[in-house]
């Protein structure tokens, strides 16, 4: 009875799944890297350091160590809880409610099973119960790491790798040593995505509740090392335009130019390879859409996060039954979007027949922005002209501008750059493009260069009856404003959006505030 009362009186452990984000600086010499920061307070930490034995950086998760008795208790409690509760059914509840629920069940089961657990042991076991039932087991601390972009598992008995915002590709100390455990973890990912994975349907493509994108495989038939998964983490708060200037991804001149293009409803395509920063740039450019404009976005999996109220986000739905029953694809959503009276249409990525609808929409006056996998203007045109898109080269003339993103090594650091901005002047029937390139990044000295004769400015001037000199003056004002925001370290989501909205409503007042003529 005394043991029973003792367990019942243990205070619930406070777990913080979102501790403070530490400031991390890039270190040119990787052998000098040695940082440690908290991921789940006060239980899980990461230690990133140079390992001389393997001559590379390592990413080590540090969690409470359990002794044999604690491990046995943990396994017994987990097994008993699994039998009692359908956690997938209650996972939608508030996290705080779930943590309290686990605490109560843990205490009841421990008493019923006659376990004598000290408070120190209770705290550690409780952490693992929360991590596995509410979170994502071994990789939950990695998911909570603000700096992680991708989590990659290449099969059983191989270390999980991460892509870190500051230190890039790093090997972790997490290894799924048991094939069955990895298989059940992939099943868990599928459940959390609201999808199904099996031997008959062994590929998973979906989104977790926080918006992170998941691709996973289930059998050795298609990935010889067994089940695999890749999680592309979703940034709840998108990078702001000034943060991209701080990262030296682009220049203030590039941003001011793109701001004007968006304001005057030009059609943009952002191109680049996988993980080159296309969606990041797309999100940042959305800050420049006038505050009252209606924006409709269409995506395969939810990645966009626009800082605005008048926004209708749409996501495709996969088939729910045999064949294509219940499927709503990009093509269908895009056709529907043009009936929703949008000022701007954003398509996460074009890669199929929806391209025709997008370009028809551009031709009928709907300003559109999208991304596409390609490396240059020529490869974009070839992709759009060939199956499955099959667009006529002359239809491509509705496109005004192409932004080319790239992965690059600058000053021995891996980085993302807006390599060039290309204006499309004309595409002939043979698919040959006449272009003008007002902005280019030079990898030799890591500098951005601006050529002052913009043909798009001439187009805006003609279309809207604006004086070209006034347009150039407006461009210079916005360059100064962006540079001042960057200099004053104004990076926050709400602050930046507020300033841009004010600029649309009271430009003279705002420019005066920042000392701009």
Closest CA to 485 of 259, 293, 165: 259
Domain containing 255: what range? 241-513
Please give the C-alpha separations between residue 92 and each of 89, 135, 442, in angstroms, as whole numbers.
7, 12, 49
| Mean confidence (pLDDT) of the chain | 90
Q: Looking at the structure, do residues 204 and 284 belong to the same domain, yes or no?
A: no
pLDDT tens digits for 170-203? Answer: 999 999 998 899 999 999 999 998 888 988 889 9
Q: Looking at the structure, do residues 185 and 297 belong to the same domain, yes or no?
A: no
CATH of the domain at 421: 3.40.50.300
Question: Rounded to 5, what percent of the chain is helix, strand, coil?
Answer: 40, 25, 40
Q: Looking at the structure, do residues 226 and 291 belong to the same domain, yes or no?
A: no
Q: Looking at the structure, do residues 20 and 152 belong to the same domain, yes or no?
A: yes
Higher pLDDT, 352 or 307: 352
Domain boundary residue, one of 200, 232, 264: 232
Closest CA to 307 of 330, 282, 272: 282
Burial of 126 (0-12, 13-18, 19+ CB in 10 A): buried
Query: Please, which pLDDT band fits residue 343 given cuts at 50, 70 and 90?
Result: very high
CATH of the domain at 205: 3.30.450.380
Q: Looking at the structure, do residues 191 and 327 belong to the same domain, yes or no?
A: no
Q: Looking at the structure, do residues 228 and 258 belong to the same domain, yes or no?
A: no
Torsion of CA 374, 378, 382, 385, to 10 degrees: 110
* Number of domains into which the chain is organized: 2
Range in 81-90, 190-199, 386-395 the model is least confident about: 81-90
Q: Looking at the structure, do residues 202 and 253 belong to the same domain, yes or no?
A: no
In this prediction, residues 256-274 reach a mean pLDDT of 96
Measure the CA–CA gap between 505 and 258, rounded to whole angstroms.
19
Q: Looking at the structure, do residues 449 and 466 belong to the same domain, yes or no?
A: yes
Which residues have C-beta within 8 Å of that of residue 479, sequence separation ≥ 6?
A: 252, 253, 256
pLDDT tens digits for 371-383? Answer: 999 999 999 999 9
Q: Looking at the structure, do residues 374 and 499 belong to the same domain, yes or no?
A: yes
Higher pLDDT, 500 or 394: 500
Domain boundary residue, one of 170, 200, 232: 232
pLDDT value of residue 336 = 87
CA 151 from chain centre, in angstroms, equals 12
Q: Looking at the structure, do residues 258 and 118 belong to the same domain, yes or no?
A: no
Q: Looking at the structure, do residues 215 and 309 belong to the same domain, yes or no?
A: no
Query: Please, which pLDDT band fits residue 292 given cuts at 50, 70 and 90?
Result: very high
Measure the CA–CA gap between 381 and 397, rounded to whole angstroms.
11
Pairing label, strands 228-232, 268-272: unpaired
pLDDT tens digits for 7-45? Answer: 788 898 889 998 888 888 878 888 999 999 999 999 999
pLDDT value of residue 255 = 97
The residues that bridge with 406 in the sheet, in sequence order, are 417
Q: Looking at the structure, do residues 173 and 289 belong to the same domain, yes or no?
A: no
How would you list the strands of the sheet with 213-217, edge to edge? 34-40, 44-51, 56-62, 168-175, 159-164, 148-153, 228-232, 213-217, 203-207
pLDDT tens digits for 418-468? Answer: 999 999 999 998 989 999 999 999 998 999 999 888 999 999 999 999 999
Domain boundary residue, one of 232, 259, 293: 232
């Amino acid at each position: 009875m005394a043991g029973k009362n003792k367990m019942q009186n243990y205070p619930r452990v406070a777990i913080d799944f979102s501790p403070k984000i530490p400031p991390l600086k890039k270190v040119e010499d990787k052998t000098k890297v040695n940082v440690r920061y908290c991921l789940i307070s006060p239980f899980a930490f990461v230690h990133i350091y140079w390992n001389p034995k393997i001559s590379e950086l390592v990413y080590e998760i540090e969690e409470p160590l359990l002794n044999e008795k604690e491990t046995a208790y943990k396994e017994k409690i987990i097994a008993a809880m699994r039998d009692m509760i359908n956690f997938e059914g209650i996972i939608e509840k508030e996290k705080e409610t779930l943590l309290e629920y686990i605490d109560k069940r843990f205490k009841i089961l421990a008493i019923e099973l006659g376990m004598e657990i000290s408070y120190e042991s209770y705290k550690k076991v409780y952490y693992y119960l929360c991590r596995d039932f509410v979170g994502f087991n071994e990789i939950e601390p990695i998911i909570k790491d603000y700096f992680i972009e991708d989590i990659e598992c290449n099969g059983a008995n191989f270390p999980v790798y991460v892509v870190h915002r500051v230190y890039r590709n790093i090997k972790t100390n997490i290894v799924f040593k048991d094939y069955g455990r990895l298989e059940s973890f992939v099943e868990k990912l599928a459940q959390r995505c609201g999808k199904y994975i099996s031997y008959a349907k062994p590929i998973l493509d979906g989104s977790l509740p926080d918006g992170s994108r998941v691709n996973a495989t289930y059998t050795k038939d298609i990935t010889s090392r067994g089940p695999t998964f890749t999680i592309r983490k979703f940034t709840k708060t998108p990078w702001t335009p000034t943060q991209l200037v701080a990262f030296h991804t682009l220049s203030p001149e590039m941003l001011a130019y793109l701001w004007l293009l968006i304001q005057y409803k030009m059609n943009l395509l952002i191109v680049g390879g996988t993980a080159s920063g296309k969606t990041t740039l797309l999100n940042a450019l959305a800050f420049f859409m006038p505050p009252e404009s209606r924006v409709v976005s269409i995506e395969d999996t939810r990645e966009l996060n626009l800082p605005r109220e008048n926004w209708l986000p749409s996501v495709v739905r996969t088939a729910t039954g045999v064949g294509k029953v219940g499927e709503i694809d990009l093509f269908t959503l895009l056709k529907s979007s043009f009936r929703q009276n949008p000022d701007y249409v954003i398509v996460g990525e074009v890669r199929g027949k929806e391209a025709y609808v997008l370009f028809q929409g551009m031709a009928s006056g709907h300003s559109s922005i999208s991304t596409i996998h390609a490396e240059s203007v020529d490869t974009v045109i070839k992709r759009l002209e060939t199956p499955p898109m099959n667009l006529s080269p002359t239809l491509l003339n509705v496109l005004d501008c192409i932004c080319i993103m790239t992965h690059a090594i600058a000053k021995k650091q891996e980085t993302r750059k807006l390599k060039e901005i290309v204006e499309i002047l004309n595409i002939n029937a043979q698919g040959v493009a006449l272009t003008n390139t007002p902005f280019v990044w030079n990898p030799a000295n890591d500098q951005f260069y601006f050529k002052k004769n913009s043909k798009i400015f001439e187009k805006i001037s003609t279309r809207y009856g604006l004086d070209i000199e006034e347009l150039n003056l407006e461009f210079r004002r916005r360059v100064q404003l962006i540079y001042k925001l960057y200099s004053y370290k104004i990076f926050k989501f709400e602050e930046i959006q507020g300033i841009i909205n004010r600029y649309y409503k009271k430009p003279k007042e705002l420019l005066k505030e920042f000392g701009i003529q």
